[in-house]
Amino acid sequence: MNFYKITVGKRLGLAFSLITIITLFLGIFVIVEFKKGSRITKDMFNHSYIVSNSIKDIHADMMTIHTAVLSMMINKESVFIDGQIRKIDLYDIDIKKHFGIILDRYLGPKADVKKVYNIYKSTIPIRTNVISMIKAGKLEEAKIFMKTNGHELLQSLHEEIHILGIYSDNKASDFFNIAQENEKNTINLLAIALIFVVLFSSTIAVTIINSIVNPLNILISMSEKINKGDFSVLNTEDTLNLKNRQDQLGQLYNSFHTLLNYLLLPYDNIIKSNRSLVEITDEVRRLLDSFDKNIIASKMDTQGNIIYVSKAFQNVSKYTAEELLEKKHTFIYHPDMPRSIFLEIWKTIESGKTWTGEIKNRKKDGSFFWVNANISPDIDKNGVIIGYNIINEEITVKKAFEELSSTLENKVVLEIEKNNEKTGYMLQQSRLAQMGEMISMIAHQWRQPLSSISAIAGTLTLDLMMDNYNNRFFKDRLEAISELSQHLSATIDDFRTFFKDDKKEEISEVQNIINESISIIGQTLKNKNIDLIINYEDKPKIKSHLNEIKQVLLNLMKNSEDILLEKKIEEAKIWINIHTKDSEVSINIEDNAGGIPEDIIDKVFDPYFSTKKEKDGTGLGLYMSKTIIQEHCKGKLLLKNTSNGASFTIVLPIFSDGEE
- pLDDT tens column, 170-208: 776 676 677 667 767 766 776 677 677 667 766 765 666
**Cα–Cα distance, 334 to 375 (Å, whole number):** 17
Where does residue 249 rank: exposed (0-12), middle (13-18), buried (19+ CB within 10 A)? buried
Highest mean pLDDT of the ranges 53-57, 194-198, 477-481: 53-57
- From residue 291, give the alpha-carbon distance in Å to each of 165, 270, 279, 334, 529: 43, 24, 18, 25, 93
Predicted pLDDT at 184 = 73
The answer to whether 237 and 222 are in contact (CB under 8 A) is: no
Q: Which residues fall within 8 angstroms of residue 553, CB to CB, at 6 or more apart?
A: 513, 514, 517, 587, 589, 650
Structure-model confidence comparison of residues 573 and 197, the more confident one:
573
CATH 3.30.450.20 domain span(s) along the chain: 295-394
Predicted pLDDT at 435 = 55
Pick from 118-132, 220-234, 530-544: least confident? 220-234
Phi-psi region of 526 (alpha: psi -120 to 50; beta: other; left: phi over 0): alpha
**Cα–Cα distance, 616 to 610 (Å, whole number):** 9
The answer to whether 635 and 652 are in contact (CB under 8 A) is: yes
**Cα–Cα distance, 292 to 311 (Å, whole number):** 6
**Cα–Cα distance, 45 to 168 (Å, whole number):** 11
Alpha helices in 393-545 (DSSP H): 396-465, 471-498, 510-527
Specify the CATH number for 420-659; select among 3.90.1150.10, 1.20.140.10, 3.90.340.10, 3.30.565.10: 3.30.565.10
Predicted pLDDT at 424 = 58
Phi, psi of 595 (to 5 degrees): 95, 180
Phi, psi of 536 (to 5 degrees): -110, 125
Rounded to 10 degrees, the C-alpha dihedral 448/454/456/460 comes to: 180
Where does residue 142 rank: exposed (0-12), middle (13-18), buried (19+ CB within 10 A)? buried
Residues 318-324, mean pLDDT to the nearest whole number: 91
Task: Say how many C-beta atoms besides its own lie within 10 A of residue 99's C-beta.
Answer: 20
- Work out the pLDDT band at 638, boundaries 50, 70, 90: very high
- Work out the pLDDT band at 503, boundaries 50, 70, 90: low
Predicted pLDDT at 431 = 55
Q: Cα 171 to the chain's mean position, in Å? A: 43
Phi-psi region of 552 (alpha: psi -120 to 50; beta: other; left: phi over 0): alpha
Residues 274-280, mean pLDDT to the nearest whole number: 56
The answer to whether 574 and 525 are in contact (CB under 8 A) is: yes
- Work out the pLDDT band at 346, boundaries 50, 70, 90: very high
**Cα–Cα distance, 310 to 303 (Å, whole number):** 20
Residues 574-588, mean pLDDT to the nearest whole number: 91
CATH fold label, 295-394: Beta-Lactamase (3.30.450)
Whole-number average pLDDT of the chain = 76
**Cα–Cα distance, 323 to 320 (Å, whole number):** 5
Task: Say how many C-beta atoms besides its own lie within 10 A of residue 288's C-beta.
Answer: 10
DSSP 594: -
- Work out the pLDDT band at 120, boundaries 50, 70, 90: confident
What's the half-sphere exposure (Cβ side, CA atoms, 13 Å) at 520?
Answer: 26
Residues 306-326, mean pLDDT to the nearest whole number: 91
CATH 3.30.565.10 domain span(s) along the chain: 420-659
Work out the percent of the chain whose per-residue pLDDT is above 90.
15
Instruction: Report the side by side order of strands in the sheet with 584-591.
Output: 531-536, 573-581, 584-591, 646-653, 636-641
At residue 154, the 3 state secondary structure works out as helix
Phi, psi of 302 (to 5 degrees): -70, -15
Predicted pLDDT at 476 = 64
Phi, psi of 230 (to 5 degrees): -95, 95
Specify the CATH number for 3-227; select among 1.20.120.30, 1.10.150.120, 3.30.1330.30, 3.40.50.261: 1.20.120.30
SS3 string of 290-335?
HHHHHCEEEEECCCCEEEEECHHHHHHHCCCHHHHCCCEHHHHECC
Q: Which residues fall within 8 angstroms of residue 219, CB to CB, at 6 or more apart?
A: 242, 253, 256
